[in-house]
Amino acid sequence: MSVSDVVEFQDTTLRDGVQSLWAMGLRYGAMETVLEELDQGGMINVEPNMVHNVYFKNAVFNLREDPWEICRLWKRKIKNMRGCAGAIGLALNSAELAQPRELTRLWIQTTKKNLPYEISGQIVNTTDQTERDFPWLVPMLREEGIELYPMVTYGVSPRHTDEYYSKFTKELVEKWKPDGIVLKDVMGLLTPDRARTWIPAITQHTGDLPVVMHSHGMSGNHEKNLVEAMKAGVRILTTCVPPLAYGSSHPSIFNTIHNAHVLGLKTNINEEPLRVVEQRLHAIAKQEGFPIGAPQPYDLAVYKYQIPGGVISNTVAQLQALGIEDKLHEVLEDTAQIIIDLGHPIMITPHSQFIVSQAAINVATGKRYEELLDYMIEFALGIWGDEEAGVPYMDQNLKDKLLSHPNAKILAERWEQRKELAETMTVKQMRADYGMTDASDEDFLLAYVMTGTEQIEIMRKAGPPKRYYTGQEPLVVLLNELKKHKDMSRLQLRKGNSYFDFRQ
C-alpha cells in the first residue's frame, strides 16, 4: 500500500450523524441551509441521507416530506464531493431479501439520477452475503457505473479474529476486484490496541486500493481509532461536523484534522464554511430541541450490547413512543443475551434492528421469546446467513423453538418463492400489481417502499417543507416573518453607526 502524507475525509454529518444523534429527524429545510457550505469544505466524499428505504419511509411517514425532493436538493447543492451510497443495490428493501433483480436495477438507476453519488459502499459482514449476493449484484453495479467499496465490518466474538478478517479480505479482493475497502466499526467496539492488529490484517491485502476508516463513538475510542488508522497508512477518514459529531456518532472533523497535523500529516480541508455549518446546525438543534453531540464516557457495557450508533437513538425514540423509555437498561441487557443466543452475529443492519426489536418485545411482555418476530425465525432458517452469521452456534433450545413455530414452514416456503421471483419477476409486472403502469419511476418506487400510496397522499397534503432561517436572508424576508407575530410592534437594528427602527 503506497502511503500519501495527505489525509482526506468522507463526510457523514447529515446521514450517520443525524441517524446516530437526532433519530433521523433532520428536515429538508435544515439540509437546505447547510449543504452548499458543507460542499465547500474540501471533503472528497459525502454520504447522502436518502440512499435506503428506511430514510424514504421516515421522510414520508414521520417528516411528511417528499424523499425524492430531498434527493434532488442534494443533487443541486453537492458539486464538489463524490456521493457514496452505503448499501446501494440491496438498500431498496434490506429487511426483505431476494427482491426482484429488475427492481434493484431500477432503484440504482433512479437514485443515481436523483442523487449525487458515484461510489457504492455495499455492506459486507459475512462470506454468506458475498456468496449469495455478489455474483449478480457486482456485475449490475459495474454495468450501472457504480464503484464497489465493500465494508469489512468489525465484530467482537470468538469467531471474529484477525485471521478471520485477513482471510475474508484476501478472498474479497482477489475474487471481486473492488475499487476500495471500508473498515467499518459500526458498533463502536474497536479499541486502539485491537486496531493496531486488525487494520494491518486487512490492509496487507488491499494493495493500492483506497481504504476508508469508519468508527462510531459508543466506547469513546473512535478518535483514538482514527489516529491508529492514520498511523497504519489509512488516508480516508469518516467524520462529522459538530454538533452531529461525538456521542454515538463519529469523530469531529476539526479534532481529527488537529490529530492528523500532530502526526505530521496534511489535509486539504477549508474549515471556514464548515464552521458556518456548525453554527447553523447548533441553531437548528436549539430550535428543535435536538441533543448536542458530546464525547461519551467510557462504558464497558457497550461490548455486551453491541448496538450500532445509527440504531441506539432510534431505539430510544421507539421506547419513548411505546411509553417504556424507563426500560432501556432492561432492553439493552436482553439484547446482550439475544446476541449470545443467536451465536454472535455481527450487529449490523438488519441483524441489529430485529435483535433490539425482539429484546424490546421480551421486556414489554415480561416473557422472553413468548412473542417472536418473523425475522428471528428467518434467522434460524438461515435466510440471513448460516455459518458466518452464527446459525450453527445458536442456543439449541431457542433454535428448536424458532424452527417449530407455526410460521417457520410458511416463512421457509415464502423464502423459496421470493428467491424464484427475484430472478423472474419484472418491473412491468410489479407496476401492474400496484396499478402504476404509467407512473414515473420515482412514484412507483416510492409506492413500493411505502407498500401503497396512503401515506404518500397524507404527505402530499401536509404542504411545503418547514424552512429554517440562517440570518443570511434579505431583510425583507425577516420583516415579512416578523409581521406574522402580532404581539411584536417594534424592531430596532444597529450595525456600526447605522440605526433602523421599524414599527407596526
| Contact assessment for residue 190 and residue 214, using Cβ atoms and an 8 Å cutoff | no
At residue 139, the pLDDT reads: 92
Calculate mean pLDDT across residues 79-87.
85
Residues 332, 381 within the same domain: yes
Confidence tier at 88 by pLDDT (50, 70, 90): low
pLDDT band at 254 (very low <50, low <70, confident <90, very high): very high
Report the amino acid identity of residue 142.
R
Q: Which three cell numbers stand for residue 385?
A: 446467513
Q: Which of 275-279, 284-288, 419-423, 457-461 has the least mean pLDDT?
A: 419-423
The Cα–Cα gap between 157 and 303 comes to 10
Assigned C-alpha cell, 194: 485491537
Q: Where are the strands (E) in 15-100, listed by range? A: 45-46, 82-86
Cα(151)–Cα(158) distance, rounded to whole angstroms?
20
| Nearest to 94, CA basis, from 106, 86, 102 | 86
Shared-domain flag, residues 275 and 162: yes
> Smallest Cα–Cα separation from 392: which of 168, 151, 159?
159
Using one digit for the tens of pLDDT, what is the confidence trace for 61-75?
999 999 999 999 999
Report the length, in residues, of the chain.
504
Mean pLDDT score of the chain: 89
**With pLDDT > 70 as the criterion, what percentage of the chain qualifies?**
91
The three cell numbers locating residue 287: 430550535
Closest by Cα among 94, 90, 95, 96 to 108: 90
Lowest-confidence region among 120-134, 256-270, 331-345, 385-399:
120-134
337, 343 contact by CB (below 8 A): no
Give yes or no: residues 17 and 41 share one domain.
Answer: yes
**Pair (325, 245) in one structural domain:** no
Mean pLDDT of 356-371: 92
Rounded Cα–Cα distance for residues 336 and 306 (Å) = 7
Using the predicted structure, report yes or no on whether residue 257 has a pLDDT greater than 90. Answer: yes
**Domain tally, the chain:** 3
The three grid cell numbers given for residue 412, joined into one nine-digit string: 421457509
Domain end, chosen from 258, 288, 318, is at 288
Q: What is the model's pLDDT at position 1?
A: 58
The reply to whether 157 and 273 lie within a common domain is yes
Which neighbouring-strand residues pair with 148? 120
User: 481 is in which domain, residue-wise?
Assistant: 473-504
- Burial (CB < 10 A; 0-12, 13-18, 19+), residue 157, is middle
**288, 311, 340: which is the final residue of a domain?**
288
Task: Please report how the helices 351-365 and 328-341 are oriented relative to each other, as an axis angle in degrees rounded to 10.
Answer: 120
Give the pLDDT confidence score for residue 271 in this predicted structure.
Answer: 98
How remote is the C-alpha of 201 from its chain's centroid? 25
Q: Which helix (H) or strand (E) holds 424?
A: helix 406-424
Q: Say whether both 147 and 212 belong to one domain.
A: yes
pLDDT in tens, 131-166: 888 888 889 889 998 889 998 989 888 888 999 999
DSSP-derived 3-state class of residue 218:
coil
pLDDT at 162: 97
Asked, for residue 67, whether it belongs to a domain, the answer is yes
In whole angstroms, give the CA distance from residue 269 to residue 408. Answer: 53
pTM (predicted TM-score): 0.85
pLDDT digits (tens, 9 = 90+) for 183-204: 999 889 999 999 999 999 999 9
The DSSP annotation for 304-360 comes to HH---HHHHHHHHHHHHHHT-GGGHHHHHHHHHHHHHHTT-----TTHHHHHHHHHH
Q: Which pLDDT does position 477 carry in this prediction?
A: 62
409 part of a folded domain:
yes
pLDDT at 95: 42
Per-residue buried b or exposed e for 257-295, using 16+ beta carbons within 10 Å of the residue's own CB: bebbeeeebebebeeebbebbbbbbebbbeeeebeebee
Same domain for 164 and 99? yes
H helices, E strands: number in the chain = 22, 13
Q: Return the residue matching grid coordinates 400489481.
A: 433
- The strand pair at 498-503 and 236-239 is best described as unpaired
Which pLDDT score, from 0 to 100, does residue 94 have?
42
Please indicate, yes or no, whether residues 279 and 339 belong to a single structural domain of this protein.
Answer: no
Please tell me whether residues 364 and 490 are part of one structural domain.
no
> Within 13 Å and on the Cβ side, how many CA atoms surround 34?
27
Within 8 A by CB and 6+ apart from 188, the residues are: 215, 216, 217, 218, 219, 221, 222, 248, 302, 308, 309
Q: Record the cell numbers describing residue 373, joined without a space.
A: 418476530
Tell me whether residue 79 is in a domain.
yes
Tell me, yes or no, whether 87 and 14 share the same domain: yes
The DSSP symbol for 391 reads G
